[in-house]
A and B are shown apart, each in its own frame.
Chain A
Amino acid sequence: MKHSEYLIAKPSKGSAGQTGLWRSFRPVYHVERCIRCLLCCFYCPEDVIEVHYHRFILFHYEYCKGCGICASICPEDAIEMVEEEE
C-alpha cells in the first residue's frame, strides 16, 4: 500500500467497534402490532433498522446502541426495550 493510500480513512461500519456492546436495553419487535409506518427506521440514529420484504422490520444488533428512540417513537408500542442480561 502506498503511504498516501494509508493516510485516507476508508468508509467502514463499526468505526467505533461493535457498538451493540454499549446496549443496556435491547429493542424487541412485536410483529403482530406493527403497522409498518416505518417511523422507527426513519428516526433510528444508527440506521440499523431495516425493512424486509415490505413485511417486517429487522434490527442489526451488532451496532444497535439501545438508545430506545425506536420504541419511544413507535405509535403502536410494537417495540419493547428489554434489559440485556450480562
Chain B
Amino acid sequence: MVAGGDVSMKIDELPRRSSLLPGNPSCQGCPHAIGLKALSVLENPVLIIPAGCTTIIAGIHPKAAFNVPVLHVPFASAAAVASGLAASYRKEGVEASIVVWMGDGAADIGFATLSGAAVRNEDIIVVVSDNEAYMNTGIQSSSTTSWKARTTTSPGGKSEEKKDLAAIMLMHRIPYAATASVGYLPDFINKLKRASEIDGFRFIHLHSPCPPGWRFDSSKTVEIARLAVKTGAWILWEYSGRFRITSPSKPYKDGSKRVPLEEYIKTQGRFKGLSEEDVEEIKSKIEEQWKFLLAFEEIFR
C-alpha cells in the first residue's frame, strides 16, 4: 500500500513509466517532471503546452523529451487551441485525451480563454501545475503565489492574496474539478483517471513545490508537497457532481490533527524572516479556507 497516499491503490498496480523521457532539461527535483508521470494513466494523451518551464522540458529540436504528441502554443491561446483541436478530433473521429498542461502564470495570462473553454464545457482536461510563480522567467509572482512569499517581483513578500483558482473554475459549473499534489501521486492519478471517464471540461489544480523557486534542496520536493497538505495549507478536494475533501487531506479537517504550519514554512527560503504575526495571519487564512471548503462539502453533498 502507498504510504501517505490513497490507501485503496497498490503501488505496483499504478502506471509508472512516464511519458517524459529521462535526460530531459528539467532541474533536479522538478515538480512538473513528477506530476507529468501521472499522464501515463490516460489513453492516447495529446499535450498542449503554453510557455513555461514545461516548454523547455519538452526538449530541444531535433530531440523531443515527450513520447506523446505535444503542441506548443502562445500563452493566451492554450485553452482556445485545445477547444479547436477537440472539435477537429470529434469531426475526424480521433479518440484522444486532450490535456492542456499549463503553469500558474499561464493560467493568469490565459485566463480569458481558460474561462471561455470552461463556460462552453469543451471536451478537454486542463491541469495547472502550480509552482506558485512564473519560474521559467525567473520567479515572478503570480496570482496563486502565497501571501508573504518572496519572489523577484515581491522581494519583501507578496502583499496580495492568493487566488483560489480551482474554486473559481468550479464555479463555472464544470462537470469535474479537483485539487491535487505532487506529494500524493496516487491521489492525482486517481483523479486524472476519474476525469478521463467524464465528458466535458475537467480541471485539476496540481500543487507543485519548486526547489530553485521556493529555495529548498532538490531532495525535498515530495516532502514539502506533503507538508503543505499535512499542515492544511493545501487542501485536496474533488468535485464530480458532489464535493468532497479527498483522503490525504481528510484527517486535517480536524484542525488539531494538522502539523504546525511552521514546519512547512521553515523549509523554504521564500518565507525566510516571516514575523510571528505574519505566521498567525497565514494560519487564520488557512482556517478560513477550510471553513469555505467544508461549507462546500455541505452544499454539494
A residues at B contact (CB < 8 Å): 6, 9-19, 22, 37-39, 41-43, 45-48, 60, 62-63, 65-69, 71-73, 75, 81
Contacts and interface: CB of A to CB of B under 8 A. Distances in A.
B301 interface: no
Interface of B: 2-3, 11-12, 14, 16-18, 20-26, 28-31, 33-34, 37, 59-67, 185, 217-223
Given A13-B23, A15-B25, A16-B24, A45 B64 contact: no
A47 to B, nearest CB: 4
B181 to A, nearest CB: 12
Contacts of A37: 3, 11
Nearest to B18: A47
Contacts of B30: 45
Contacts of B3: 37, 39, 75
> Ordered nearest first, which 7 A-B pairs have the shortest CB separation?
A68-B219, A14-B23, A45-B33, A16-B25, A63-B22, A9-B64, A67-B28
A63 B23 contact: yes
Nearest to A45: B33
A68 B185 contact: no
A38 B9 CA distance: 13
Nearest to A54: B12
Given A47-B22, A68-B218, 4 more contacts: A11-B21, A15-B60, A42-B2, A47-B18
26 contacts: A9-B62, A9-B63, A10-B62, A12-B21, A12-B64, A13-B21, A13-B22, A14-B63, A16-B23, A18-B23, A19-B22, A22-B28, A38-B16, A42-B185, A45-B28, A45-B34, A46-B22, A46-B23, A66-B28, A67-B29, A68-B29, A69-B221, A69-B222, A72-B219, A72-B223, A81-B219
Contacts of B24: 15-16, 19, 46
B17 A73 contact: no
A68 to B, nearest CB: 3
Contacts of A22: 28
Contacts of B31: 45
